[in-house]
A and B are shown apart, each in its own frame.
Chain A
Amino acid sequence: MNSDILLRFDGLAASYGRHAIFRSASLALGAGVYALQGPNGIGKSTLLRLLAGAQVADAGEVWIDGISLMQASEEAKQHLSYVPDESPIYPFMTGNELLQFVASIKRAKIGGNVHALIGEFELSAHLDTRFDAISLGIQKKMMLCAAWIGAPRVLLLDEPSNGLDQAARTSLARLLGTSSQNGTVLFTAHDADFVATTEASVIAMQDIFEPKEMNSPERGT
């Protein structure tokens, strides 16, 4: 396996009951920003959940920074962060508590980059407010801040721009670009403008059913 590859999956299969979402998805990604695109219902969110370990795959294998997600789950997850489309956070939890919880789980400190992100997203006033009392956009921003805790090598973001205001989208696009220098950022998005701003390499869902290696993404495609 190429040592520059940070995210690799091979022969992934997922189904809900008898309905197969996909049977054999394979791909290898090096550092960079990648936008996963495809029509609704093709399985983009399911694929991200499988890659993040949030859902068990029917078959296949995932490697995060060379560590098998199936065989060394905790170690692999130490190197990844996942932001789901919705915010499945305890309603009674505050933003601060979420950050502290994730930091304690990852045995990491809430670093300066996260504090900077909090400032950029203008979250300071909402940090001590419960999740059920803040807007969806603020919830999304909190989840994004939590994703950068522990300097993950692989970032999996499901519709990260949904619900964000324009300023936050611009900040996020810039941040994704910065993170792609040392890590892999894979996100789903239907928003063509956002994808263009991030200069992400577009991956069509249909393409990943054939093994493929993408080490040098063509930006802005």
Chain B
Amino acid sequence: MANFTFPLRSFAQTYATRYLLFTGLRLRWYIRASGDLLARHWQWFLIAGLIVPGPPIVGLFFLPALVLEAVISHQPDLLWQLVGILAVQLTALLWIIPQRRLYSGGGFMDYASTLPLSKSLCLGVDLTLLIVADTLAIVPAFIATAHALATQSPDRVFRVCALWVLLGSACVVQMVALERRAIAFLSIALADVALGSSLVLPVGGLRLPLLALALAGTIAGLLIRGPAKRFNPMSLTFMNIRRTSSIARVLGHYSPPFLIQCKALAARPGPAVLRLNTAIVLALAVDRLIAIFNFDSRSLPTVILALAAISLILSGVYRTLRDAHAPMQAYLGALPISPRYWLTRDTAFVLLLGVAPLCILLWPLVAHDLSPLFVLFVLAAAFQALLALQRLPLTFGERNAVLYRFILAASWSVAAMAATPR
């Protein structure tokens, strides 16, 4: 017996050491490459938690917890149950897709793939990384679990099990999408139907076997490899456009720095498109809101708040541009350019991005003569100044940059409201 257990223990120790080493490396890369993304997620969430009505900070966790509880609650209609399950999985997918580059492990994984790492070890490390990336979702999951257990419902344990199967399936959906294992989606679809059916059925009967089937389908989704293909940034369609377009050629001829800035944004299309679209959509939504207000005295303060929010949204572009310039700093340092070369150009670029939402927001005020033109002109100039100032927290704020940006935007909106006559 002793002869048998010794190699087993040795194997376990080796496995644990490898797991810890590999996980440590992947996590360090994830944190470094993302610029402390995890910390920023929590920072944003806590700031949002202070603003949203309800209990401070933790209030925001209750909303997703309620949604999770609603999804696992008894519904008579299977279709609605499936819609709920798919909504949770889709949210998980939308959360992880922008992080795919970080999850991929970078260029190091090309080297790691040549090492004799077992599939189970890789799977364990991948899952650990996903759980780290999803830490924000863990708190609502525990709140939902506690709520479900606190009820007097006879099937509360079953509901909690269903909740964790649902969360597990969401995690597997993320992994399957990131690794582009289309065949595994069949297994997850089967698991979804089984889970939905188990939640629709009354107490007893086939509920437990169906839940077990859902769990089996989820685990199968995790294990079905098929023609696996790890995410490769080079394989994205937009990245495959390697040839320069004629627009880029013209821009490159007349304004090479502007082309570089545009391409820096295009290199990270997810965050860039999200920021620009959010700014435009917010401006359009506020236009609609002040129309609902019938262009009364609430219009101008609403526009000011929207401008402050847009400055927060667009200020993220500074980070994108700075990150793009960083690897080239050594080479740029040897060129005859001022140390403030990119500082001034990047600021001008962000100011340019702010023009479209600014025009959308100010147009109704001009059209309905809500404020003197001079006041609107000063407001526009002040917004551009705010956008320029939003660069400072990135330079000096370090870890608290988001907080400083928020304070800056809040202070600006208070000052603007106080200064504008109504």
Return A141 CB to nearest CB of chain B, in Å: 15
Q: Give A53 to B334 CA distance when docked, in angstroms.
A: 5
Tell me the smallest distance from the CB of A162 to a CB of chain B, in Å. 16
Is B253 in the interface zone, CB < 8 Å from A? yes
Given known A82-B334, A105-B335, A132-B234, contact A88–B242 (CB-CB < 8 A): no
**Do the beta carbons of B244 and A128 come within 8 Å of each other?**
yes
- Tell me whether B267 and A77 are in contact (CB under 8 A): no
Q: How large is the interface on B (under 10, 10 to 19, 20 to 34, 35 or more residues)?
A: 20 to 34
Least CB distance from A104 to B in Å reads: 5
The answer to the question of B226 belonging to the interface, with a C-beta cut-off of 8 Å to chain A, is no
Given A77-B336, A101-B260, A105-B336: A84 in contact with B330 (beta carbons within 8 A) = yes
Closest to A81 in B: B334
B266 / chain A contacts, CB cutoff of 8 Å: 92
Closest to A128 in B: B244
Which residue of A81, A82, A97, A102 is within 8 Å of B244 (Cβ)?
A97
A68 within 8 A of B: no
Q: Which residues of chain B (228-271) have a CB below 8 Å from chain A? A: 234, 242-244, 248-249, 252-253, 256-257, 259-260, 263-264, 266-267
B336 lies within 8 A of A96 (CB): no
A163 to chain B, nearest CB (A): 17
Docked Cα-Cα span, A73 to B334, in Å, equals: 9
A80 to B234, CA, bound (A): 35
Q: Does B324 contact A (CB under 8 A)?
A: yes
Q: Do the beta carbons of A80 and B334 come within 8 Å of each other?
A: yes
Number of A interface residues in the complex (CB < 8 A): 36
Best-surrounded residue of B234, B244, B256, B335 (most CB of chain A within 10 A): B335
Report the Cα distance A53→B339, complex, angstroms. 11
CB distance A102 to B243 under 8 Å? Answer: no
- Given contacts A104-B256, A133-B242, whether A54 and B336 have CB atoms under 8 Å apart is no
B335 x A96 contact (CB < 8 A): no
Cβ–Cβ contact B253 & A100, under 8 A: yes
A16 at the interface (CB under 8 A from B): no
A105-B337, A129-B243 known; A93+B263 contact, CB < 8 A: yes
Which residue on chain A has the smallest CB distance to residue B255?
A104
> Is the contact region of chain B dominated by helix, strand, or loop, or is it mixed?
helix
Residue B338 interfacial (CB < 8 Å): yes
Given contacts A90-B328, A97-B259, A133-B234, contact A52 B334 (CB under 8 A): yes
Of B242, B256, B267, B338, the contact of A101 (CB 8 Å cutoff): B256
Whether the pair A54, B333 counts as a contact (CB closer than 8 A) is yes
Beta-carbon nearest neighbor of B328 in chain A: A88
Tell whether A94 is near chain B: CB-to-CB under 8 Å: yes
CB-CB nearest in chain A for B335: A105
Residues 130-150 of A, flagged 1 when their CB comes within 8 A of B and 0 if not, give 101100000000000000000
**Which of B267, B330, B338 meets A88, CB within 8 Å?**
B330
Q: Tell me whether B327 is interfacial, beta carbon within 8 Å.
A: yes
Q: A169 to chain B: which residues have CB within 8 Å? A: none
Chain A residues with Cβ under 8 A from B336's Cβ? 73-78, 105-106
Q: Which residues of A contact B263 (CB under 8 A)?
A: 90, 92-93
Q: Which residues on the B side are within 8 Å of A53 (C-beta)?
A: 333-334
Contact B267 A92 (CB under 8 A): yes
| A143 to chain B: closest residue by CB | B331
A74 proximity list for chain B (CB < 8 A): 336-338
Most buried by A among B248, B256, B266: B256
Residues 308-329 of B at the A interface (beta carbon under 8 Å):
324, 327-329
Q: A96-B252, A101-B256, A128-B243 are in contact. Are A49 and B330 (CB under 8 A)?
A: yes
A94 surroundings in chain B (CB, below 8 A): 244, 252
| Most B Cβ at <10 Å: residue of A89, A101, A133, A156 | A101
A54-B330, A84-B330, A100-B256 given; name 12 further pairs at CB < 8 Å: A52-B334, A55-B333, A77-B336, A84-B331, A88-B328, A90-B264, A94-B244, A102-B335, A106-B336, A128-B243, A133-B234, A156-B334
Which residues of A come within 8 Å of B, CB atoms? 49, 52-55, 73-78, 80-82, 84, 88-94, 96-97, 100-102, 104-106, 128-130, 132-133, 156
22 pairs, A vs B, C-beta closer than 8 Å: A49-B330, A52-B333, A54-B329, A55-B333, A73-B336, A75-B336, A76-B336, A77-B335, A77-B336, A80-B334, A84-B331, A88-B327, A90-B267, A97-B244, A101-B256, A101-B260, A106-B335, A106-B336, A130-B242, A133-B234, A133-B242, A156-B334
Instruction: Name B's A-contacting residues (CB within 8 A).
Output: 234, 242-244, 248-249, 252-253, 256-257, 259-260, 263-264, 266-267, 324, 327-331, 333-338
